[in-house]
Amino acid sequence: MTIQEIMERAKIKETNLAIAWIKDAIHLIQSQGHDSLATWKVDVVDGVREYALPLDLIKLRSISIKDTNDDRWKKIRRLISEPTVTEDNSP
């Protein structure tokens, strides 16, 4: 369906107003579309850097790690660039 057709059905004469309403509707649909949200947990192992993700994963929303000191989950922020990796050669 084109914007022109939507404008005719909604009886709107201003194109910018119709486009703004369409964008608002798309944003609302996207913000409410978490129907099949699932939680996946794995134990963190010392020395393991990469973990396998579920095969049916479509979108990764967030990653959290449980702080054993205060028994709370803390989100891990997404990195903008590659992480700096250094090796500790101390004995």
Mean pLDDT split into 10-residue runs, the chain, 91 residues: 90 92 90 74 86 85 86 86 76 60
Q: What is the model's pLDDT at position 90?
A: 63
Q: What is the model's pLDDT at position 91?
A: 60
**Domain residue spans of the chain:** 3-75
Q: What is the model's pLDDT at position 35?
A: 65
Q: What is the 3-state secondary structure (H, E, C) of 2-45?
A: CHHHHHHHHCCCCHHHHHHHHHHHHHHHHHCCCCCCCCCCCCCC
CB distance 43 to 31 below 8 Å: no
CB distance 5 to 15 below 8 Å: no
